[in-house]
Amino acid sequence: MSASSSSKPSKQRKNVDSLASSSSAQGSSKKAQMYNTVNVGLTVGASIAEVSDILAPLKAACLTTKTILEVAQANSNQEEWTDLVQRLKRYMSALEERTTLFETYPQEERVVDEAFRRPLIHYVEFLETMHDMVVDLKEKRSRKKLGLFKAFSKVKADAGEILKMNQDIEDQHRQFMEALGVFTALRVQVVDKTTKATEVKLDVTKSCVEATKTTADATKTTVDATKATVDATKTDVETLLTDVDANAILQLPTVAFVASSVHNPCLQGTREAVLNTIWQWADDDTSDKPIFWLCDIAGSGKSTVAMTAVESWRSQGVLGGRFFFSISSNETSSTDRLCSTIARDLAHHIRELAPHVAEAVKHNPSFMRCSLEEQFELLVSGPLHHRQGRMILVIDALDEYRPKE
């Protein structure tokens, strides 16, 4: 189970004004007013592709999430919407927090290039598509009067669509927040390096003042000033390389399936025996067994145990990456994106490994055509050689792997 190592095109919007006709004039008027407001709000998404300020896609995501919430909550008490509504509320809160944070940045520090804008804009476009799906789903239910059996079947179909929305938005939101996290980390590094460069320049100025005392001191100061200039130039180059590294990491393909949308951690007080065995293995730095293999019959809760381990090791800072196989999609039932997904996790969870992952991608742009062994050595094992200490990878549901014919 675990291994330890020391612009899509803007689509035609529906004319939601036509939704104003229904059996209840008052309810229809309220719906029409809400949908019109939504339609006006979503026009923001069409223009963000040309804006370099990171606040543009962030605010557009906030607005679009809010409009989806308004539609999902309108005249609806169905239980199947509860999880989606609660998830959207959490995501909107997180987006608003990031917006508040970035609004404190000077405008020049909020500029993003095309590589950074791409995943941000993709998320907004996904939200717009999801909004249309929610509107369609709500309107289909409000227009049709079904018999008991058909109504029951329709509820099951709706529940399936809503579950799919939950899974899709969780993955898209995770990638969006990862991109924001990389952007934030880069800007922190830039600020730190700028501060250091300023300190160097102050030291140079101080040296120049002292250099006026004697000719010998002046000569020494000139040498120091030259060295400081070289260091400052090196700092600028390193900052530029950091941006390039981040762009390379964002090119790593990942799977759309999100394990946490299907598997939950163990309930408090359950599976304690097997979990304690896992914790003992993970904490034993002297063990000669780098692999912990958990096997049992299907449906015994192995994935739940794996999810519990992932959450625990992530909080401890020792989780390198995870991959949950699943026969529900081609991506998660093959090894095509196994190594690239884990490598992106390494760069996200262990910041010190990000430059090494990026270097591997830049030096081997055709890595996706390599064999599984070559990809693992290049994207996972290679970067991990630069890490001292414990690091754990979690791979679940190997029995759901399906080799290509």
Q: Evaluate whether 361 touches 248 at the Cβ level (below 8 Å).
A: yes
pLDDT category of residue 360 using cuts at 50, 70 and 90: very high
**Looking at residue 292, what is its pLDDT?**
96
- pLDDT given for residue 27 in this prediction: 45
pLDDT of residue 209: 54
**344 is written with which tokens?**
């992106």
How far from 257 is each of 139, 331, 332, CA to CA, in Å? 28, 8, 7
Lowest mean pLDDT among 84-98, 108-122, 344-358, 378-392: 108-122
C-beta of residue 342 within 8 angstroms of C-beta of residue 393: yes
**pLDDT tens per residue, range 206-244:** 665 565 555 555 556 555 655 655 454 444 434 334 667
Lowest-confidence range among 49-53, 101-105, 138-142, 365-369?
49-53
pTM exceeds cut of 0.85: no
pLDDT digits (tens, 9 = 90+) for 162-206: 777 777 777 777 777 777 777 777 666 655 566 665 666 666 656
The pLDDT value given to residue 3: 62
* Mean pLDDT computed over 296-311: 92
- Give the pLDDT mean for 249-269: 79
Task: Using only the alpha carbons of the chain, give its radius of gyration.
Answer: 26
Exposure of 22 by Cβ count < 10 A (0-12 exposed, 13-18 middle, 19+ buried)? middle
- Residue keyed to tokens 């962030």: 58
Residues with Cβ < 8 Å from 311, sequence gap 6 or more? 265
Residues 6-23 have pLDDT tens digits of 444 343 333 333 333 333
